[in-house]
Amino acid sequence: MSSFHGWLLVIVGLILSGRAGIDAGQPNVPASLPKQPKNLDLAPSPELPGINHGAHCTADFLPGGKSLISFPCYGTKEIRIWDLKTETLARVLPLTDMQFEPFILSPDGRWVVCRDLRERELTILSVSTGKRSVGIKFTAQLYTFTPDSKTLIALTNEGVIHKANVTTGGKESEFKLARVKGPYDFFRLVDFPFSADGTIVASKLHGYSEPLRLWSTETGELLQSLQANTTYPDLAFSRDGKRIATTGSDQQQIDLWDVKTGERIRTIKEPAGGNANWITMFSFSPDGKTLVATGGKLADLQPFRLYDIATGKQIASPKSLDSGWLTSAVFSGDSKKLAGVQRSGAIRIWDLLAPQQK
């Protein structure tokens, strides 16, 4: 065989091997090409009707991830619990005309706390029966459960921390946060300001240049000040309480901070293009590896974006939804699913472990 024919056979063999790789779904892609965010063609679940009364409705997974609980904000006075296997409404918990958001689910899934404006109290409802379990006689718009679901922690606009027993309503402690200059203004925080274990609460005074302050709910002492230069900061704590995410100065980026040192770790910039919408919300996955953001410039094109916490890079984005972008989103306890509430109040579920490259 001539050398010419030998080289010809080698070239043909390389072509055929490359063709076989492509047919097998494994193309030979140069390592230097940047990886593009996956388009999650997840075929989200059919719409769960939700509450259907506008934006800012929220939802949460019940422990075990088999059921979802959805909360109203305006109009419809009921809480709904969904069976995710059958994608049907399992039961309804009625509310009075004066019970309002925020609705917070206890970590064990047994209780929901909300504000009752008529009784001027925080009302704890039983998830199993929907009935009022106990009322706690103080008014606050910011509150959370301790991890064992036995204590409710609440913060008033005057900077007073209240702690009460969930089953009896009895007050366990009450004290005021350390004083700083200027009037307190805890309503500047649009998103949930407590750490997951309830030991830290965040506040911000009036003014763009004022720092975001982190306080101990156990002693009232100032723990840290973050130079989060934005007048209306949304924020979210990681599950372990070591990191906090805030909106950037233009409300179109997310800053990640180290809670212990107060240093900015990195800035996550939203993709270019789309409309100049503000980021409506964001939260950490329970495993601390991923951040989800909704709203923003690409709200009409991508209902949410997923970002890698370690690198700040976008790792996935879903297809657009015909019925509107998301106003809120929450991870399941195992970080494998995402539930999103659309502007219409309808709820969609994405399986984050089953992406298909579009």
pLDDT tens string 69-84: 988 876 668 888 999 8
The secondary structure of residue 309, as a DSSP letter, is T
Q: The tokens of 102 are what?
A: 């925020």
Locate 15 and state its tokens: 């072509």
Note the pLDDT of residue 219: 87
- Residues (pLDDT < 70) of the chain are 1-56, 74-76, 179-192, 205-209, 229-233, 249-251, 271-278, 296-302, 317, 319-324, 354-358
Measured between alpha carbons, how far is 340 from 330 in angstroms, rounded to an integer?
7
Are the CB atoms for 125 and 166 separated by under 8 Å? no
- How far apart (Å, rounded) are the C-alpha atoms in residues 311 and 13? 40
39: left (phi > 0), else alpha (psi -120 to 50), else beta?
beta
CB atoms inside a 10 Å sphere around CB 169: 17
Give the pTM.
0.77
CB 78 within 8 A of CB 93: yes
Residues 328/341, Cβ–Cβ less than 8 Å? yes
**Rounded distance between C-alpha atoms, residue 264 and residue 244, angstroms:** 9
Q: What is the pLDDT of residue 121?
A: 87
**For residues 237 and 17, what is the distance between their CA atoms, to the nearest angstrom?**
50
**What single string gives the DSSP state of each residue in 37-71?**
PEEE---PPPPB----S-S--EEEEPTTSSEEEEE
Any idea what DSSP says for residue 35?
P
d(C-alpha 106, C-alpha 86), whole Å: 24
Residues with Cβ within 8 Å of residue 178, at least 6 apart in sequence: 215, 220, 221, 222
Please give the structure tokens belonging to residue 342.
Answer: 């659309």
- Residue 58 tokens read as 């929220």
- Structural element, H or E, at residue 17: helix 3-23
What is the reported pLDDT for 298? 54
Residues 6+ apart with CB under 8 A from 13: none
**DSSP letter string over 123-162?**
EEEETTT--EEEEE----SEEEE-TTSSEEEEE-TTSEEE
Query: What pLDDT score does 53 carry?
Result: 43
DSSP 119: T
Residue 277 Cα to chain centre, angstroms: 18
Under DSSP, is residue 218 helix (H, G, I), strand (E, B) or coil? coil
∠ Cα 85 88 89 (to 5°) = 125
Distance CA 193, CA 144 (A): 9
What pLDDT score does 291 carry?
Answer: 92
Peptide bond into 233 cis (omega under 30): no
Name every residue whose Cβ is closer than 8 Å to that of residue 4 and which is 6 or more positions away in sequence: none
